[in-house]
Amino acid sequence: MDGPLIAVLGAGQLGRMLALAGYPLGLRFRFLDPAPQSPAGQLAELIVAAYDDAAGLERLAAGATVATYEFENVPARATEFLARRLPVYPPPRALEVAQDRLAEKTLFRDLGIPVPPFAPVDSWQGLLDGVKRIGLPAVLKTRRFGYDGKGQWVLRSADDLAPAWAALGSAPLILEQFVPFDRELSILAARSTAGQIACYPLVENHHHEGILRLSIAPAPGLDEQTQHLAHEYARRVLERLDYAGVLAIEFFQYGAQLLANEMAPRVHNSGHWTIEGARTSQFENHLRAILGWPLGDTGAVGHCAMLNIIGDLPPVAAALSVPGARLHLYGKSPRPGRKLGHITLVEPSEEALRVRADLVRLLASQAAMASHGDFGFWIGDLAIDDCGLTVRQWQAGRLALQWTRAKSPGLISSLSHAVMRDLSLRSHSGRRSRLKAWSSIPASRSAASSRRRLKNCLLL
């Protein structure tokens, strides 16, 4: 007998990972996406159509058990169209709220979830009034269609107001107080159609240029009270929206406070570590939740790091040569700023995780070097300690040799020897220490943009 058929709006990497989690449960998948070369389309039926194409949506819904979405900028009317034909989870109302930063912040505030002071801005005078009330620094953001840090402007002084208004003022905006946060955390929570709730441990997230680079889970140094607070906030949102599926809420941790920044009514990049690092992945729990099945255990099986692969692909063999590294590629072609895949590490201790994560950074730098032939730039701010030394020595030496051979034998021929010598010195001293970074100056002015791209890759 055929298993349940899941209709999914959007066929990106999140959809692809949903399908990969659902096949062992006997589920079938059908996706709709305007892009013909979509990651999920490589492994399931794909309807290529605009999100608001009625005929496409009819085909998506035909015979499906339940519909869901993996992209939060799908038009809410597409989910409403589907909801007249079959159950849609998370509920379209959750999508509407998440698509509007003002509605989102208002919901959080109404539920007693702390948020930075905020004000809607619809005019130049509104901006002046908002700044007077909230103070500077502040962040001006478009209310809709912002993602990965796009559509926002940090206002540090009165001089920033006019350029920010010129850039963003044609759209409805929200002004928020700038939070000098200690770190960024996210909670992934699932609620099933039967009302069962399960939360994953809080995740620590590192962004660069608005794009998530690295997630560490459970968040290092996490205390029980903070974890409990995040669960409680998630529970309030899930119940208010009569939610089913996985929900992510991003917080700023500021002292003992958690301030909610935004939510995503779907599986989330900061939850990719759960594929290997939790007893049940966020993808499987999303499917269980929308089908009304019992939720799986959300406990972590170790200390996890998830490093996004952005812009350039690492050589597969090199990535797999890091012991324990699990590589996920999404079948997308490289483009600056594009999420192409991720690498997950699961280790028994935070310390072992840190060591292994540094190795993966090295690999990323190698990938970046390989794709920027006109200039060499190496960052290997490499943590060394006794437990990681053997692996590091081998890996760093190997990378340095490859790089030297391929790029600039004359210029950097001593590099590999320097790496080996430095590592062995440290090894004799037996103390933990850090190995400095090397860099060479861009060979030409045209390399400036490569340098920017490269830095982007390196700052995982």
DSSP string, 213-246: EEEEESPTT--HHHHHHHHHHHHHHHHHTT--EE
Helix (H) or strand (E) run with residue 183 in it? strand 183-191
Neighbouring-strand partners of residue 157 = none
Please report whether residue 358 would count as binding ligand AMP according to CB under 6 A.
no
* Residue 113 dihedral angles phi and psi, to the nearest 5°: -95, 120
CB of 100 to ligand AMP, least distance (A): 13
- Residue number, 252 or 375, with CB nearest to ligand AMP: 252
Alpha carbon distance 339, 213 (integer Å): 10
CA 97-121-260 angle, to 5 degrees, is: 45
Of the candidate spans 20-28, 175-183, 191-199, 277-285, the one that interacts with ligand AMP by CB under 6 A turns out to be 175-183
Please report whether residue 104 would count as binding ligand AMP according to CB under 6 A.
no
Please report whether residue 149 would count as binding ligand AMP according to CB under 6 A.
yes
Q: With H, G, I as helix, E, B as strand and everything else as coil, classify residue 331.
A: coil
Please report whether residue 179 would count as binding ligand AMP according to CB under 6 A.
yes
Neighbouring-strand partners of residue 69 = 9
DSSP string, 28-62: EEEEEES-SS-GGGGTSEEEE--TT-HHHHHHHHT
Q: In which region does residue 92 sit, left (phi positive, over 0), alpha (psi from -120 to 50) or beta (all else)?
A: alpha
Alpha carbon distance 203, 459 (integer Å): 18
Of 178, 254, 293, 438, the one binding ligand AMP (CB under 6 A) is 178
- Cα–Cα separations (whole angstroms), residue 340 to 145, 171, 270, 310, 361: 21, 30, 15, 6, 16
Of the candidate spans 156-164, 176-184, 359-367, 379-387, the one that interacts with ligand AMP by CB under 6 A turns out to be 176-184
Of 33, 72, 104, 184, the one binding ligand AMP (CB under 6 A) is 184
CA dihedral 383, 384, 386, 388 (to 10 degrees): 70
Alpha carbon distance 232, 365 (integer Å): 40
Of the candidate spans 59-67, 161-169, 172-180, 369-377, the one that interacts with ligand AMP by CB under 6 A turns out to be 172-180
Interface map 243-282 toward ligand AMP (x if CB under 6 A): -------x----------xx--------------------
Please report whether residue 130 would count as binding ligand AMP according to CB under 6 A.
no
- Residue number, 306 or 362, with CB nearest to ligand AMP: 306
CB of 290 to ligand AMP, least distance (A): 25
Ranked by CB distance to ligand AMP, the top (closest) residue is 179
CB of 177 to ligand AMP, least distance (A): 6
Of 33, 70, 104, 176, the one binding ligand AMP (CB under 6 A) is 176
Alpha carbon distance 283, 248 (integer Å): 12
- Residue number, 205 or 344, with CB nearest to ligand AMP: 205
Determine the length of the chain: 460
- Residue number, 268 or 326, with CB nearest to ligand AMP: 268
Q: With H, G, I as helix, E, B as strand and everything else as coil, classify residue 8.
A: strand
Please report whether residue 116 would count as binding ligand AMP according to CB under 6 A.
yes
How many residues belong to the site for ligand AMP (CB under 6 A)? 13
Beta strand residue intervals within 257-338, DSSP E: 257-264, 303-310, 326-329
CB of 375 to ligand AMP, least distance (A): 29
Q: Does the bond joining 265 to the residue before it have cis omega, within 30 degrees of 0?
A: no
Please report whether residue 146 would count as binding ligand AMP according to CB under 6 A.
yes
Decide if 282 contacts 320 (C-beta within 8 A).
no
Of the candidate spans 8-16, 39-47, 174-182, 383-391, the one that interacts with ligand AMP by CB under 6 A turns out to be 174-182
Please report whether residue 139 would count as binding ligand AMP according to CB under 6 A.
yes
CB of 379 to ligand AMP, least distance (A): 22
Of the candidate spans 159-167, 173-181, 213-221, 373-381, the one that interacts with ligand AMP by CB under 6 A turns out to be 173-181
Please report whether residue 210 would count as binding ligand AMP according to CB under 6 A.
yes
Please report whether residue 207 would count as binding ligand AMP according to CB under 6 A.
yes
- Residue number, 104 or 347, with CB nearest to ligand AMP: 104
Of the candidate spans 51-59, 178-186, 276-284, 371-379, the one that interacts with ligand AMP by CB under 6 A turns out to be 178-186
Chain residues that interact with ligand AMP, rule: CB under 6 A: 116, 139, 146, 149, 176, 178-179, 184, 207, 210, 250, 261-262
